[in-house]
């Protein structure tokens, strides 16, 4: 947060000198918000996972071109609607000089990035349990067997996630902020699908996506 005034001063000097010198390198990336640090009054930083799989902690620039209030990033973290972010990597952590909704055709048509890039050979199974759908995932050596896909459930249903395999750590259900602790690769979680949206389920250790859960 303390680097932003210094960066603004550098830009003013460059402008006064007729644009000579080395300008910061700006680039545009697209991705989803994994974490937001701050409250509705102010956002200190947020963690973005780009479509290329890069995990970046980004600080909003004080004078950035933001097409919505920064607090809206909390909604993007909950719904995983993609963002388009203009980055200045000349400072560490990078500055977000522009933030806007990505307007991804895949998002608006209900198709997920995982579905358009992954062809599951043995998708996770879904069955109806006594209280609602049961979703079985097998995670082997840090990745889900059969690839990542989206599973849809109805709002208000009781959903059970069952994990088997050989991977340790925790599985995180984003948006609901629920975790499955894997004991010798196995774990289970039952919860009410009370929040609508599309939520990523991933291995918390390295943010590996294992499932997209759609609640509608």
pTM, 2 dp: 0.48
pLDDT tens figures, 88-141: 999 999 999 988 887 643 332 233 333 333 334 344 555 655 568 999 999 999
Q: What is the pLDDT of residue 109?
A: 29
Contact status, residue 62 vs residue 117, Cβ threshold 8 Å: no
Q: What is the pLDDT of residues 56-87, one digit of tens each?
A: 999 999 888 887 777 778 777 877 888 889 99
For range 203-213, the mean pLDDT: 87
What is the pLDDT of the chain when averaged over all its residues? 77
Taking only Cα atoms into account, the Rg of the chain, rounded to an integer number of angstroms, comes to 20
Q: How far apart are CA 186 and CA 128, in angstroms?
A: 20
**Of 77 and 178, the one with more pLDDT:** 178
Q: What's the rounded Cα separation, in Å, for the pair 84 and 104?
A: 9
Q: Which of 62, 104, 61 is nearest to 82 (CA)?
A: 104
Q: Where residue 13 falls among pLDDT bands split at 50, 70, 90?
A: very low
Place of tokens 């000349």: 90
All structural domains of the chain, each given as residue ranges with its CATH number in brackets, are: 25-107 (2.40.50.320), 113-215 (2.60.40.420)
Strands (E), the chain: 26-39, 42-50, 55-66, 83-88, 95-101, 125-129, 132-140, 143-144, 150-153, 158-165, 169-173, 178-182, 187-192, 197-203, 208-215
């Amino acid at each position: 947060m303390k680097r932003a005034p210094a960066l603004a001063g550098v830009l003013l000097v460059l402008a006064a000198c007729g644009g000579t010198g080395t300008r910061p390198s700006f680039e545009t990336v697209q991705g989803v918000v994994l974490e937001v640090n701050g409250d509705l009054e102010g956002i200190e930083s947020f963690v973005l996972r780009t479509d290329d799989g890069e995990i970046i902690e980004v600080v909003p620039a004080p004078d950035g071109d933001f097409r919505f209030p920064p607090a809206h990033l909390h909604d993007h973290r909950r719904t995983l609607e993609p963002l388009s972010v203009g980055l200045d990597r000349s400072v560490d952590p990078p500055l977000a000089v522009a933030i806007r909704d990505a307007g991804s055709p895949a998002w608006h048509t209900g198709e997920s990035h995982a579905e358009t890039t992954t062809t599951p050979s043995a998708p996770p199974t879904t069955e109806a349990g006594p209280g609602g759908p049961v979703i079985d995932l097998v995670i082997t050596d840090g990745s889900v067997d059969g690839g990542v896909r989206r599973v849809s459930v109805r709002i208000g249903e009781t959903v059970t996630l069952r994990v088997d395999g050989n991977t340790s750590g925790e599985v995180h259900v984003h948006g609901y902020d629920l975790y499955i602790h894997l004991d010798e690769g196995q774990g289970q979680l039952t919860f009410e699908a009370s929040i609508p949206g599309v939520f990523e389920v991933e291995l918390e250790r390295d943010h590996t996506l294992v499932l997209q859960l759609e609640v509608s």
